[in-house]
Structure 1
Amino acid sequence: MNCTSRASKIKIFIVCWLCACSIGWAQEKTLRGNLQNRTDVEGIHVINLSLNERTITNEDGSFRIPVRANDTLFFSSLKYQPQTTVITQEIYKDGFLEITLQELVNELDEVLILPRLSGDIEKDLQRIEIIDTINFYDVGIPGFLGVQEEKIPNLMGQVIAPTAVNLEGLYKYISGYYRKLKLRRKWDVENSTIENLTNSYGAAFFEEAFQIPEDRLYEFLLFCIETTDIERDFRIENYNGVWEALTRSASEYRSRLPKKEE
């Protein structure tokens, strides 16, 4: 009887201990991080794939992002190769991560410039492809119907003028407010484009046409936006351009994935 009672107590203790550990492991905390690369450390995308949280590195390569133990962080940039890092128990306990990204070396294909000009203006004009006329959305002239966003003035001439100084504007430049505002707007445009592309085509389309699994779709579309004009082409409904951008990017993106994921 005593043995049975003792065994029951041990089981209860083990169950309680496992529950306590699970709660501790599932708890979120803010992770501080820093990129150790010497140059181009600002504006790197940092995405917690487990929590769907995201942020952008500051000018010194630092960042903050919510994490849990065993979460996966994804780093993406045009200059560096995509990289994932698992938040181990040690990293989670320290609350700090130092990481060095591997620089991406692009090999450019041979460029052929066409058409060749003959010197006859009339004939040359007939051979040049004409681009569609842009509208006011492309250049930002009056015509926007939404809520006007905050303008970022030029430091010299608008913030610091010959006869006056805009103290509020000067403070926003010194504090980095305008720099962060530019990055945040860029980030919002990218997220909006990814959402619109996903809703328009559907995850199954990307997997069937380009062999991009659904759990990699966000990373793939972010890669497309950073390396092609897909955002502009989709916005102006140039769907041929969108298809070409997806086709070019898919092959390059798959070549960067670990072999086991290809």
Structure 2
Amino acid sequence: MGKRLFLFFVLINTIGFSQDTEESERLEAIVVNAQTGATMESVHVVNLNQVKGTITNKDGAFSIPAVVNDTLYFSFLGFKSQKIRVTNDMFKFGQTKISLTELAYALEEVIVRPYQLTGYLEIDVKNLPINNAYQYSISGLSVGYEAGKKNPSAVTKVLGAILNPADLLRNLFGKKPNQMRKLRQVKEDDQIRDLLASKFDRETLIELLQIEKVDIEDILNNCSYSKSFITTANDLQILDAISSCYEEFKVLNREK
């Protein structure tokens, strides 16, 4: 009995030690330019799972808390943003190099094809591109509302926005409670706040909160933010606005 009890405590201590080690483990790697191989300074690195951020030093190196299967998000002006999943190899062998591609190289070739009109209506109509956006008209309203692709959620979104904005907010916030809880974590990390203060494209916010850009706009629209603010504010201001809106939503929802 004594031996079993001793082994039990050894096992518990071993598990506890391994968990602490995993939580405190830091990943070290280097970011380089994919075209030149040169190291890149001041690249923003964000652990999307743990909501922690850092930047690379003058040698392109960085260190960040991480565990296997965490996702790291890399962002640098003029380069294509990139997501990397953390693997065991990164911890075992070290000196992992993350390559970022300049946007000039990342852009895919675009072929511009002007409309070839023949003068015959039946032929020209078939050659015109099809617009997949659908509009929904509601009795009593003088204008139609465009809702993107034709699917049930598109119709629901339009009706919710027009008939009951509170329900739309409840759907947006209520369906993504885990992502919304990240708001406080994001606001507490200085490196992430600095990154968001320099960004205007909503790209990092979308990755952090795992919501669509259109959802961000819908949230702010229904919280009475102006179109001018929504289009010109930096990502940190947008984050603070969403956070404020979310706190108001929780208070109202609690009172119901």
Shorter-chain TM range is 0.3 to 0.5
TM-score, length-scaled by structure 1: 0.38
